[in-house]
Amino acid sequence: MLYRLFHVWLGDAHYAHENPLFRGGCAALFCFVLVLAIGPTIIRQLVRFKVGDRPEFDHAQLNKLNIAKADVPTMGGSLIMLVVFIGTLLLADPYNFYVQMSLVCLVWLTGVGAVDDWMKLSAGKRSGTRDGLRFWEKLIFQLGLGVLLGYFIFNHGQHNHAIVGSPADPRTIESYRVLMVPFYKEGIFLGIYAFMFITVMVVTFTSNAVNLTDGMDGLASGCVALCSGVFMILAYVSGNTELAGKLLIPFVPNSAELSVLCGAIMGSSLGFLWYNCHPARVFMGDTGSLPLGGLIGYVAIVTRQELMLFIVGGVFVFEAVSVMLQVACFKMTRGRKRLFLVAPVHHHFHLAGWSEPQTVIRFWLLGAVFAVFALATVKLR
């Protein structure tokens, strides 16, 4: 593993190989190049297995706008997650608890997404439908993962809290229990049940929100890259005693290793964007969107920045809320009115006259604004 080899290559250059932010940057570069290198081979294999997408919406005009996307291979998320897995194993500390749990999260949600994609494709070939896993079936797996992560993260934190102060007057900070609130210094202390409830909600919401955002060429992958870049910095700060103290962020011992995971996600997403930008040669599908959202949510949980996630991932929140509002409006008016032309909201703007590249780039710009604003709120506290 490159993490171990750094100790040999760099010798006494302690700062370089031990600094997770440095290795996170290396992971971003490594994963970007690796996706570019093996991307064409993976895409050819997906074409060979005939896993072409068939965009179908309950809207005739939207189907017409997306007709050119028929038979573009999906399940490209397998490329992203494979490279994230490799990059994390090579450059992160494999014995770090938070890294190990992140790989559990990655494999779990990638499996759920792959099964969903494959069922859609196989059912479509037989019956012309797009039915994959039912929503409640995916929800069971997401909720189950949230319970698992919440339980183990909370219990690990009890044996791993931060010790601050002088040797003569040491103080223990149960940072693993603090829910940080933007613009509020103190945070809110949580019991195990509240902690697990929040973990379940965050994992479920973020994985589904990224899944809903993945509807246009490059939209989800670009926004994920921005979001993971911010959390690469936040994870490093939360695992650094001095920086966490200065910025009033909960110090979570050993959480800085998640900077490497975030760097791997950012590099892989940018590499995938090379092939996913308009006109896309491959789509990520649920195989990529579910685990990407879940992993970002997982990092937010470990670093105690769940509410910050709603600022950093403002685009994902916008997309998910648009669907919830559309469904609520439709049901309340018994199908007579719709709040948007169609949901998720990126399709609304597409139908309203924006071209697909315009919509994607403008949403990227919103994502960048949310990211900068989120980092600014850290100092504003």
Helices 285-302 & 192-213 angle (0-180, nearest 10): 150
Residues, the chain: 381
CA distance 112 to 142: 9
| Long-range CB contact pairs, 357-366, < 8 A, 24+ | 357/217, 357/278, 359/216, 359/219, 360/216, 360/217, 360/218, 360/219, 360/222, 360/278, 363/219, 363/222, 363/223, 363/315, 364/219, 364/222, 364/223, 364/226, 366/314, 366/315, 366/318
Closest CA to 304 of 165, 218, 202: 202
Q: Half-sphere exposure of residue 153, counting CA atoms within 13 Å on the CB side? A: 35
Domain ranges of the chain: 20-305
Containing 89, the helix (H) or strand (E) segment is: helix 77-91
Q: How far is CA 304 from CA 19, 39, 222, 231, in A?
A: 21, 35, 24, 11
- How many other C-beta atoms lie within 10 A of the C-beta of residue 328? 11
Cα distance from N-terminal residue to C-terminal residue, the chain: 39
Q: Whole-angstrom Cα distance, residue 276 to residue 210?
A: 15
The neighbour count for residue 41, using CB atoms within 10 Å, is 10
Q: Rounded to a whole number, what is the largest CA-CA distance in the chain? A: 73
What does the pLDDT profile of the chain (381 residues) look like in tens digits? 566 655 555 544 444 457 999 999 999 999 999 999 999 999 999 888 877 666 666 666 776 766 767 778 888 999 999 999 999 999 999 999 999 999 999 999 999 999 998 888 876 554 445 567 888 899 999 999 999 999 999 988 776 655 444 444 444 556 767 888 877 777 788 888 999 999 999 999 999 999 999 989 999 999 999 999 999 999 999 999 888 888 888 888 899 999 999 999 999 999 999 999 989 899 999 999 999 999 999 999 999 999 999 999 999 999 999 999 998 998 888 777 888 888 899 988 988 889 999 999 999 999 999 999 999 888 776
- CA atoms 90, 20, 22, 9: torsion sign: negative
**Distance of alpha carbon 158 from alpha carbon 176, whole angstroms:** 8
Sequence-distant (6+) residues with CB within 8 A of 104 are: 148, 149
- Distance in angstroms (rounded) separating the CA atoms of residues 48 and 71: 12
